[in-house]
Structure 1
Amino acid sequence: MHRVERAVRFSRRIGVLLAAAAAIVPFATARAQAPQPFIIGVSGDQSGPYIDVTGPGQVLAAELAVADFGGQVLGRPIVIRSADDQNRPDIASANARRWFDVDRAEVIVGGGNSTTAFAVLNAARQAGRSFLVVGAGNPDFAGKECSAVSTQWAYDTHAQAVATGVYLSRGVGVGSWFFITADYAFGHALERDTGRVVAAAGGRVAGSVRAPLGTADFSSFLLQAQGSRAGVIALALAGQDLINAIKQAGEFGLVGGAGGQRLAGLSLLSNDVVGIGLAAAEGLVASESFYWDRTEETRAWTRRFNARLPGKIPNMVHAATYSAVLHYLRAVQAAGTVEARTVNAKMKELPVNDFNNADVRIRQDGRVLNPMYILRVKSPRASTGPFDVQEVLATLPAEQVFRTAEEAGCRLSN
């Protein structure tokens, strides 16, 4: 009798184990058949002087683009990963290589400054993956460093130099310029390109001084600029560095005094103006490829942005990140593949259309040919709210501000 009971109990255990195994098999099969996530890396400054240029706003812009696209592409769920490059090329490169080699990311967007962006581009070339350059302003990304796997969005230093420099040199009639320049690739390129525009307009460069990235005290640089007696003190800076320099220039009474000097914030963004305040920034002229209050579509997108980041105003880097990610995903869908060269070629075939762009084309060297807008900071009296900081003075087509393909000198190899 005991033998029979033991046999029954044994057979029951076997039945339970077989049932459990049968339940595990479809679960394991389902996991094996689950589509691999489509990973997009967002690389930029999340903690330093460019946090408001790129930072959380750039990550949010990418997320909004993914949501508007539908959350998946080629049957794969889209996942956003972000990392702080700390404005260091070694960290940017390590982040990019980890995304490409370990996480199997298909594309990286961002590259907040030109030095870190060049590092990411090298990693993308070696991995054969796509890179959407948004934030870095050196025009060489569509010139001698052009690539069959990359495109450059929003602006470059040549476009800003032409747009802002020509307006100040010809419209105001100021002949001499002195540069306070960020001491890395972006600042050097912005000074170089603006200097050429000034010379072509009949002006001259009286001198320049280089400021390290992340400088808190600009007093010595501003005093050198004041001593030059140049008509325009050109700030080839960005982010918190630019904000600090403009605020300190106001504290020193540098502008509007007996010398009649003017400030030029060559890479001034709308969110910088909010940080500086209208009293200190009034009258400054700059250029961007986006202004939040330009159309009903840009205002609607800004409301979505502000709902997720209260108190923050989007700039052209944020807007172009949305455009780049959305256009890239459309190209992947149209091409039916993630192969970087094929997708990059498809991006150039398709016009860029979204809340900020209408039938904008991408040149073969990767330059996105968006228009640029001349913006002037309003007076406190003219402003109707905390974000009402600038007015659009003019719209300049891409053909007037970006280098021609011949001038850029792209020789695509990889």
Structure 2
Amino acid sequence: MNKSLVTAVCAAGVAAFGSTALAADGATNGSVKIGVLSDMSGVYKAIEGPGAVIAAEMAVEDFGGSVLGEEIEIVSADHQNKADVASSIARRWIDRDKVDMLVGMDNSAVGLAVQGLASGKDTITMNTGAGSVELTESQCSKYGIHYVYDTYALPVGTATAMVENGGKSWFFITADYAFGHSLRDNTSRVVKEMGGEVMGSVEAPLSTTDFSSYLLQASSSGADVIGLANAGGDTVNSIKQANSFGIVQRGQKLAGMLVFLTDVKALGLDTAKGLQFTTAFYWDRNEESRKWSQRFFEKHGAMPTMVQAGVYSAVMHYLEAIKASGSDAAAPVRKQLGEMELNDFFVQNGKIEANGLMSHDMYLAKVKTPEESESDWDLLDIVSTIPAADAYIPISESACSLVKQ
């Protein structure tokens, strides 16, 4: 069930930034332990996976290796994109191994299951990989934090840009689980609000290799835009096969509703050029992001996705909250996180709301042509910034019961 459990004990030396006298509350169980739960072997491996473990280890090292006088440990495991497997790992980590916080969970079914279980056991989750808005809406929880992006924010930039440029009618190829349904529904909302129409949708199982029947249905609909409400290897396969069928050449447009840097790399610029999508992070956006990303590249051999960069940011701010609150207990740490303004190479002026949403700016990106690219990972242009106030469900409109408390 847990084939790739990896335990990594990070540097124990106490650096100036991470050292602090043991506060009254202190570490509740003699250690501070963080669990990275991700897809280590499947369709989302390149998006988060082993790179997330590296990012978490980098955060611990940069923090100084200890907090409240206790060594910080990283453990990791493969959830295999199965909610039951993920829940079993999370339960064992919390009950037996005394894990204090879980991060990653790049699958919405996994994320929802683990968040509910962990919150019931007074354990913080910082979901960096899954997208469903239900993490902070109908299934919000006291200790659940949604950190990098959600399926409300993704279409705000992408669908808006495409409808404004003539993509009025849409047909969706949808990953058949919580994330895909949420992304399709939220994109449909944006399209309709802008005066467009949704002509239909077809659902494809996770890890589909042959998209031909789904693409033929989408193509025969005559829609201006085929929206891909999927991610990772599924997005790559569907775009490659759409190009081989000549769908784009015949005039229909593809909209990748969740595209990662590694997807663009896998597709190649000849195939992906001109593709627009919404992202929370791009390694080449400014000097600070370039500096951190180069360090990550030296360890991982690839530039970071927004999720991998988000893991570092989440772990670092979690450790800062422990230090500031003087305890690693969930209640004071969550309270401290809600009071902090989050700033680093990944996020500027970020805020964790009462429903657990980490509100921050998003970016509309466009894939470069081969002629525009100057280096191996020079893949994107940032077209515009989407302010946090426009990117996410306003907290005043949230359905989360915690907001009203």
1:293 corresponds to which of 265, 284, 293: 284
Partner of 1:69: 63
Structure 2 alignment gaps of length 5 or more: 1-28
What is the distance in 2 between the residues matched to 1:245 and 1:373? 23
* Preserved CA contact (<8 Å) 2:191 2:198: yes
* Preserved CA contact (<8 Å) 1:50 1:240: yes
* AA of the residue aligned to 1:388: D
* Alignment map for 1:301-316 (pairs within 5 Å): 301-310=292-301, 312-316=302-306
Query: Aligned Cα RMSD in Å?
Result: 1.3
When Rg is computed on C-alpha atoms for both structures, the one with the higher figure is 1
Larger helix fraction of residues: 1
Report the secondary structure of 2:352's partner residue. Answer: coil
Partner of 1:218: 211
* Preserved CA contact (<8 Å) 1:163 1:374: yes
Q: How far 1:335 moved relative to its partner? A: 0.7
When structure 1 is superposed on structure 2, of 232-241 and 402-411 the one drifting more is 402-411
TM-score (norm 2): 0.91
Partner of 1:379: 369
Asked if residue 367 in structure 1 is aligned to residue 372 in structure 2, the reply is no
* Preserved CA contact (<8 Å) 1:323 1:354: yes
1:268 corresponds to which of 250, 259, 275: 259
Residues 47-103 of structure 1: CA deviation (Å, up to 9, x unaligned): 000001110111111111111111111111011000000000000001101110110
* Preserved CA contact (<8 Å) 2:32 2:328: no
Partner of 2:10: none
* AA of the residue aligned to 2:400: C
1:236 corresponds to which of 191, 213, 229: 229
TM-score (norm 1): 0.89
* Alignment map for 1:31-180 (pairs within 5 Å): 36-170=30-164, 172-180=165-173
* AA of the residue aligned to 1:132: M
Partner of 1:337: 327
Runs of 4 or more consecutive aligned structure 1 residues displaced over 3 Å after TM superposition? none
Report the secondary structure of 1:205's partner residue. Answer: strand
* AA of the residue aligned to 1:300: K
Residues 254-289 of structure 1: CA deviation (Å, up to 9, x unaligned): 1021xx100000101111100111111111100111
Asked if residue 350 in structure 1 is aligned to residue 350 in structure 2, the reply is no
Q: What is the number of residues matched between the two proteins?
A: 376
* Preserved CA contact (<8 Å) 1:150 1:344: no
* Preserved CA contact (<8 Å) 2:55 2:308: yes
Report the secondary structure of 1:221's partner residue. Answer: helix
Q: How far 1:43 moved relative to its partner? A: 0.5
* AA of the residue aligned to 1:237: N
* Preserved CA contact (<8 Å) 2:294 2:303: no
Q: How far 1:356 moved relative to its partner? A: 2.0
When structure 1 is superposed on structure 2, of 320-329 and 144-153 the one drifting more is 144-153
When structure 1 is superposed on structure 2, of 260-269 and 137-146 the one drifting more is 137-146
Report the secondary structure of 2:55's partner residue. Answer: helix
